[in-house]
Structure formats: C-alpha cells, structure tokens
Structure 1
Amino acid sequence: MTGRRRSSPRPIKRAPAVAIASAVACGAAIASLLSACGSLPGSGDSGEKEPVTVMTWAPEDTKATNMPGMPAMAQAYARWVNSRGGIGGHRLRVLTCNERNDSVAAAQCAQRAVDKGAVAVVGSYSQFGRSFMSPLEVKGIPFIGGYGASDEEFQSPLSYPVNGGQASLLAGNGRQLAGDCTSVALVRPDTIQGDQMPSLLNSGLQNGSRRPAKDVKAPEDGTDYTPQVTRALDAVGADPAVYGTAKAGGKAAGSCVTASLGDHTDAFFDSFRRLQEDSPKVRVASVLGSVGQSLVTRTGGRSGPLEGAEITGWYPVADDSRWKPMRKVINDFAFDDNRIDPADQGVQTTWIAYTVLRALIEQLDEAGVEDITSHELQAALDRGDRAIDTGGLTPKLRWREDDMLAVQDFPRIVNGTVTYQVVRNGELVAAQDGFVNVTKTLERRHTDG
C-alpha cells in the first residue's frame, strides 16, 4: 500500500521470547481460560475487542442494473484489513445481501442488517430508498456512502453520501454537453427515478445557454432500443450540415444524444450503431455507471459508436494513480473474483465508503471508544471532528450541518463535484484536470423552476 494509509492502527511489536512465553502460559492455562490464547499479538484475531459488523447490498443476476462488484469489493476490503489486525483492533465482518432491484428485497436486506447487529450499511446500491431507509432509521443505523441511486440517500439524516448521486452526474453531463451541442436528446428509463433526469440534465444545458433536451423514455430492461434511437435522432434533427460546422464557444457544435440506462445502455448503443450506418454522424454521451471502459471496448473501441463520447463521472479516471491502493487490495485479496472491475463506479464508491468507515473507527479508537456501535458512528459522523481524506478520490468529506449544500430536494449532498471524461482512441481518459463543481448548477435548477 502507499504511504497514505496506516497498515494497522498502533501495531504492537513483541520480542519473540515474549510471544513464546505467552504461548507456553496459554498452553498451561485451565480450559476456561483457553479463549485468551486467540489474542496473541499478530494473530489478526484479537479477542480483546469486539468485531465490527456491517452490511453491503446490491442487485445481482437481475434483468435491470446489476452491481455484483460492490459486495465483492466489500468482502475483499474486509480480508485486507483483517489480514492487518482489523481496524483499531476490531475485525471487520461484512454481511452481503442481494437487493434484486426489488423494493421488498431491499427492505429485507435492511431488516437483515438490523437482525444481524450491523452497526452500518456501507457502499450499497438500491433505487428503493423508501423501503430500506425506514428499518435503518428505526434502529439508528447509518447508511454510509451509498451509490446515490435513490432520493432518500440525500434526504435521510441517517445517510452520509460520498458523491452527489444521479443529480450531480446529470447536471454535470448537461454542462459538459453545453459546450458542444446545439440540440440534445436524453434517452432515460421510464421509471420514477428516470422522471427526474430531464430537469437535472437541463439544469446543466441551461447553465451553458442551451435549449432543454428532448426527453425520450425507454424500458429499463430493454434488449432492442431501435424505436428509441429513431426518436432520439429525429428529435435532434441529425442534420449533417449542422454537425461539426456550427460553433459554440469556439468548439464544434451540433446534434447530440445522451443515454443513461444503467446496464442496458450497451443495448441502446448497439441499436444506435446499427442505425448510425444510415444516418448522419451524431455525437453521443452518457454518465459513468451507464458507460465504462469495458463497454467502450466491447462495442468496438476507437471504431465503435462511443468514440468521442463525452462521459461524466464522480471520480478520477480509472487509471489515475490515486486508485493504486484499491487496485493492490483487489489484486491481493479478491482472489481473481471476476465480479470486481476496478473501473466500475460501484466498486469505486464501495472502496471510498469503506475508507470513510475505517477513518471513523480509527478516530473513535483514538478517542478511547472500544465499543463501536451504530450510535457512536452516527455521532462521529455528525460531529465531523476531522474531515475525512479519501486519498484525493473526492474532496475531503464531512457531514456537519454546515457542510450540507443548499440543493433543494437533495439536502444531504456534501460533495457536488464531478469529473469530465471522453473516449479517445478507444480509451476513457480525462477530458480536463481536476473536479468540476456543479453545486450552483443544481441550486439554479430549482431557483429557476
């Protein structure tokens, strides 16, 4: 690992003779004291402090969006910290649950977290915040670093998001497209969550003095999006006389289509590729989580429909050096688990969420708190004694009242930044350095109605 993280909180070093003497003493102890032998230094299974139990859930093996890498990353993280003695002497116990993209299953996962004594839910994905937040709120269990797929993650006082969710991605994508596009169509799921997308994207477009996007609804679990591609191309005009000739702020401007359909965005762009063969060139765009490097490669790389696509994400590009600690943990502790893609935003969000959890437990340990409870974690989060450094993957995070951004409908957002990326020569690369703050764009969306 890099020098940014301690390998283990306050490691205790003993001389070999001391360790041998301790082992002999344990061997001579009466049966009732044998349990103490498990707490020898360096065993990684300390009996002195209780383990910390948390849960990570996500949908797997469904017909809509799947995030199997999130619970897999959580398990790899636990193996890593436990190999180093745990966190502050506490072994990390990770429970996982298949949320199945179903409101009932989401509620069941939350109830299982309660029943199994989880002190937090960490780095999870679900669109059904209304179903899973209530059981957590009743028991005071904090929800740390969810993916940002539900409104409740940005409303509940028990939620501590690490990113700006769908709101920041779409507002950022609108701002990114405003520099290049005179006409935009948004292809999005015909769902309650999808219904929010047009106004969010439009807030970014309007920030760049562009017209609102044409709204094209699509089935969340579709396999052929030819009708939606046709409507999107018709909506933006797809005029070859416009594309690449008109100017906007010194850049080529024209017809653009952005799609955000989760796992089924690849099916959309497959349909798009087939129709583009007989249609004028149209610039495409999306948000990370719907498009990633694996999809770019799968659809033809530099010769595919995503070449030149403008992509908005929450975090630095996947090959950024700031991800090296995560990649090392995956290489050393995931045991070739093919569910974990280091470029996946779900995996990345889970890593950041567990980074937050580790920092919190270390802060409590330094303060002399030995019993890590949900109440202690919530109090530490609310106090925000120290901002949490995620290694530059996000701005430093803190969830005090003063840190909440003034974004109506999303009052729990503390990180309103995004990154701009672009597909160039078949590779997803940074379009510009650093983070882009879209907080004012989100605020203006509601101010302007």
Structure 2
Amino acid sequence: MRSRSAMAALAVGVTLALAACGSSDTTGNTTGKSTPAPATAGPKGSPVKLMSIVPLTTPTTNFPEQAGAAKAAVRALNKRGGINGHLVQIDVCDSKNDQAAGEACARKAVNGKYLAVVSAFSTAGGINAILEKGGIPSIGSSGVAGDGSDLTSKISFVYQPASTYSEAACPQLLKDSAKISKLGVVNYDIAAASRLGVLAGLGGKAAGVGTQEIKVAPTTSDYAPIVARVTDAGAQGVTTGLAEPSAISLIQAGGDKLSYCNAAGTISDANLVKLGPAAKNFYAVGAFPLFNQSAKYPELTRLQSELDADFAAGDKDAAKKLRHVTSTIGGWLAVQIVEQVGKKVTGDLTAKSLLAQLTKTKGLNVQLVPPLDFTKTNAVPGLTRLFNNTLLGQRWDPAKKTFYATGKTYDGQKILAAGAK
C-alpha cells in the first residue's frame, strides 16, 4: 500500500525526474489515445473528453484507484445516456508526481480540447497554470499542489479538506474522543512543514488543548527519543505531518500509551493491521464517509456497484483491494459533478461553457459531502478554491481491522477562525 498523506508528501518534497504522459481507456488498459466508454443508451452528440491526472508509476505514491473510480463513474454515466446526449470519454495521464510530467498531461488536455480534468493529484504543481490558460476546469483535485494552485486557481474546484485542515482538527478530535489536554506535534524540520505546526497550534487554541511542536530530521529512524520528548512535555496525544514509514515508527515507539491523529490515509489500512494493538488509539479526520456507512449514505452503494461493474468489465483499477475512502470517493465524485453541472449547460458543451456553469453553481448536492456552493470562495487566505470545510472523525478498530465513524463532525474554517482570535 502507498502512503496517502498529502501533507507528508509535501513535507518531504517527493518528486521524480522522468516526464511522461500516457492514457487509459475505460477498461483500464494503457493506450496512447482516447477510448470512449461503452454505452447502452445512444447519445447523439459529439463525444466529450475528461482526463484524470494521477501518479501511477512512482516508487511510493500511486493512485490507480482514483483513476479507476473516475473510469467506473464514466462507464455508468454513459449507460445513463451521457451528458445532454454526449458520450463521455476518459483518459488517465500519469503525472508521476513530477512537475514536467504533470505539465505534459495538462498540455495534452488543452491541446486535445478536453472538457475537464477530474480528480488530479500532484504535489509538484504546474498543472493548473496551463489549464487556466486553456480555460479547462479542474474538478476534485486533492488540493496538494506544491505551488498552492489547487487551492487558488480560478479553474480549480476542491472539495477534499482533510489534507488542508487535518492538523487543525486533530486537537479537537482527540479532546472529544481521547480526553487529551495536551498534544505533541511531530513534523519534519524543513521549511515546507512549518505551516503544519501553525495549523496544529491554531487548532489547539480553538480546542483549549496545549500543543508542543517537536521537529525531527527527515532521516530520523529511531522514534523512541521523540516519544520520550512528547511524554516528558505532558502530551497524551500526537499529530504528525510525517511520511508513512516515519509515522509507523512513531506509533511503534509510542504504543497504546499515546493517542494519534492524522489525515485519513496517512497510514494504509494494511499497515494499521500490522501495527496491531499499538494502533488501537489511532484516529483520523477525513473528507468523506466510510464505506461501511452505506446505510446512512446510500450513494456509497451506487459507487461500489459501479466499481464492481467496471471491474467485471475488465478494469483492474476498480478492484476491491485497491479501494480507498479518500481517493476512490474523491475520483468518483468529480465525475458526478461534471454530470450534474454539465446537464445544466445550454448550447455547446465545452470546457468554456462548463467552467462558466460551474462558477454560478450553488446548492450542488452530491450527497457524500455537504451541498457545494461554487459561487462563494473560501474566506481563508490561500484556500479560496476549497469549497468544503467539513471533516469527519474516524477511529481505527484493531479487532475488526477497519475504521468506524466517531460521530463527530468538524468545520476546518471555523476552527482556524477561532484559533486566530
């Protein structure tokens, strides 16, 4: 399993030197050209194209399931007749988490007159500047671009706040669920991680929880001394911006005498299983409900049935073992937004007309996040294109080897505002 901590990826500055751009058809096969998704209905309009830009071939951070979810959503959309009679095609372009590769994908989208980019992920940056010049909307990016453009570009529509607000929400979650009064904040001793400590400090102030920041070298392997510093400071819990191997080492050193909180996906379920009882006090904040909450969120049932159908049709990226709450739901929702907003477009369905319709859309109900209002930008500086501030609390259950919802919901924007007073 790969680390899915966007903050950790930003902190350690993971990039690759190779630049390449491939595509994938709706059956998950790598190709060099667009391939339309099969349709049982018969759309009459000319096809429109979507692109998912995600890393697929890095040593650490790959998201085939995010692209898989988008492909499954497109297959189902075409079975419903497409968008206003237009068949939808989807390509997957490998960003390699590298700026040159991501920019190559963006140029392909512009030159190919794609309708939109859906569920992009790249910590390297550079993608949005090209899309902005081409007037192509980016819907549902992970919000982690190193240049900040995911959260500021006028063509970007982000609804995943966990990687942005997690350290701000963790103090309140651990206070509510683990009754802590002081929190250790363990981050890498590099400039890129400095904002994480600031967020945790604001969240701690808002929650009435003391915070003690401890910075470590990225090469640190022995976390026993770090845990000792945390406990010596009187902290009962920890939040981090560490990469997955480092976060695992910290939990192994601290065991169940501490509580832990991170953005959902910081540590994979497989590695939490390996941690055993040491992870019994592991909490997370996520943007989306858990797959086991389908009774409360019926759309989760439709999502998984569409993935099952796409997997049965031959797309290995839709496999159950790959599905992850954050990346899978995020990729699937992007296509739902394209469908709902695209159907409101009058006249030609183009990137320009879709972008214009997006910017005047409010009350958009995709059910797995609160209704979205794209007419109002976020009030937090640097987060203007983040349109969802809601975070959901989760706790790991070692016995059942899964997360369950704590029932607590947090508003990241309100936490930061309260902490800044």
TM-score range, shorter chain: 0.7 to 0.9
Query: Residue in 2 aligned with 1:427?
Result: 402
Query: Which structure has the larger Rg?
Result: 1
Q: Tell me how far 1:126 sits from its aligned partner.
A: 1.3
For 1:299 and 1:274, locate their aligned partners in 2 and report how far apart those are by CA, in whole Å.
7
3-state SS of 1:212 partner? strand
| Aligned position for 1:82 | 78
Contact residue 53 and residue 120 of structure 2 kept, 8 A = yes
* Counterpart residue identity of residue 152, structure 2: Q
Q: How far apart are the structure 2 equivalents of 1:189 and 1:132?
A: 26
Q: Give the match's secondary structure for 1:414.
A: coil
Give identity over the alignment, percent: 22
Kindly tell me: are residues 440 and 306 of structure 1, through their superposed partners in 2, closer, same or farther at Cα, counting changes over 3 Å?
A: same
Which stretch shows the higher mean deviation, 424-433 or 102-111? 424-433
- 2:168 matched to 1:171? yes
1:309 positional shift = 1.1
The answer to whether structure 1 residue 383 and structure 2 residue 383 are counterparts is no
- 1:193 deviation in Å? 4.8
Q: How far did residue 117 of structure 1 move?
A: 1.6
Q: Which amino acid aligns with 1:337?
A: K
Q: What per-residue deviation string (whole Å, max 9, x for no partner) do you get for residues 291-345 of structure 1?
A: 3534323433xx3x22121211111122111211111111111336256533330
Structure 2, unaligned runs of 5 or more: 1-38
How far does the alpha carbon of each residue in 1:35-62 deviate from its partner, in whole angstroms, 9 at most, with x for none? xxxxxxx85353x201111111111231
2:336 corresponds to which letter in structure 1? Answer: T
Residue 93 to residue 122, structure 1, CA distance change in 2 (3 Å): same
For each residue in 1:110-153, what CA deviation from the matched residue of structure 2 results, as whole angstroms up to 9, or x when unmatched? 11111222121111111133x11111111111111111213212
Unaligned runs of 5+ in 1: 1-41, 243-253
**Which residue, 128, 135, 144 being the options, matches 2:139?**
144
Superimposed CA distance per residue, residues 53-108 of structure 1 (whole angstroms, 9 cap, x where no aligned partner): 11111112313422221112112222222233323221111111111111111111
- Of 372, 377, 402, 1:397 maps to 372
Question: Is 1:408 aligned to 2:381, yes or no?
Answer: yes
Name the structure 2 match of 1:134: 129
3-state DSSP of counterpart to 1:350: helix
Q: CA deviation at 1:184?
A: 2.6
C-alpha distance in structure 2 between counterparts of 1:306 and 1:143, whole Å: 36
8 Å contact from structure 1 (residues 85, 91) kept in 2: yes
Determine whether 1:236 maps to 2:230: yes
What do the CA deviations read for 1:413-439 (whole angstroms, capped 9, x no partner)? 221110011113443111115x32221
Q: How many residues align?
A: 369
Residue 197 (structure 1) shift: 1.4
What is the 5 A alignment of 1:434-449?
Answer: 435-445=409-419, 447-448=420-421
Question: Residue 253 of structure 2: which of 275, 278, 295 is its match?
Answer: 275
Normalising by structure 2, what TM-score?
0.80
Which is further off, 189-198 or 374-383?
189-198
The C-alpha deviation readout for 1:265-287, integer Å capped at 9, x for no partner, is: 1x23542355347xx82222221
1:198 aligns with 2:197: yes
Taking the TM superposition and a 5 Å limit, the aligned residue runs for 1:113-128 are 113-128=109-124
Question: Could you tell me whether the CA contact under 8 Å between 1:238 and 1:281 is conserved in 2?
Answer: no
The one-character-per-residue Cα deviations of 1:364-409 (angstroms, maximum 9, x if unpaired) are 2xxx43x21111111101112x521112x11101210xx2231122
Amino acid at match of 1:135: I
Q: Which amino acid aligns with 2:150?
A: E
The SS at the match of 1:200 is helix
1:181 maps to which residue?
A: 180
* Match 2:286 to one of 313, 317, 322: 313
The answer (yes or no) to whether the contact 1:232–1:257 under 8 Å persists in 2 is: no
The alpha carbon displacement at 1:154 in A equals 1.5
Note the aligned Cα RMSD (angstroms).
2.5
Matched, 1:359 2:340: yes
What code does the residue aligned with 1:329 have?
E
User: What secondary structure, in the 3-state scheme, does the structure 1 residue paired with 2:90 have?
Assistant: strand
**In the alignment, which residue of structure 1 is the partner of 2:36?**
none
User: Does the CA-based 8 Å contact 1:56-1:74 persist in structure 2?
Assistant: yes
Q: In structure 2, which of residues 154, 157, 169 is the aligned counterpart of residue 160 of structure 1?
A: 157
Q: Contact 2:167–2:263 (CA<8 Å) still a contact in 1?
A: yes
In the superposition, relative to structure 1, how do residues 288 and 273 fare at CA in structure 2: closer, same or farther (>3 Å)?
closer
Letter in 1 for 2:92: T
- Tell me, in whole angstroms, the C-alpha distance in 1 between the residues paired with 2:274 and 2:231: 28
CA distance in 2, matches of 1:190, 1:57: 30
CA contact (8 A) 1:56 1:124 kept: yes
**8 A contact 1:122–1:350 mirrored in 2:** yes
**Per-residue deviation at 1:173?**
1.7
Amino acid at match of 1:299: L
Structure-2 change in CA distance of 1:126 and 1:331 (3 Å):
same
Change (3 A) 1:182 1:165: closer
SS at match of 2:289: coil
Equivalent position amino acid for 2:202 in 1: S
Task: Write out per-residue CA displacement over residues 343-372 of structure 1, whole angstroms, 9 at most, x where no aligned residue.
Answer: 3301111111111111011222xxx43x21
Q: Which has the higher contact order (CA 8 A, sep 6+)?
A: 2
The verdict on how the C-alpha distance between 1:59 and 1:175 changes in structure 2, with shifts beyond 3 A counting, is same
Counterpart contact for 2:69–2:328, Cα < 8 Å: yes
State the 1:442 CA deviation. 2.1
Aligned equivalents of 2:94, 2:67: Cα separation in 1: 9
Deviation at 1:191, TM superposition (A): 6.2
Cα separation, 2, equivalents of 1:354 and 1:259? 32
Contact 2:175 2:181 in 1 (8 A): yes
Which residue does the alignment assign to 1:343? 324
CA change 1:338–1:373 in 2 (3 A) is: closer
Kindly indicate whether the alpha-carbon contact (under 8 Å) linking 1:55 and 1:95 is maintained by their aligned counterparts in 2. yes
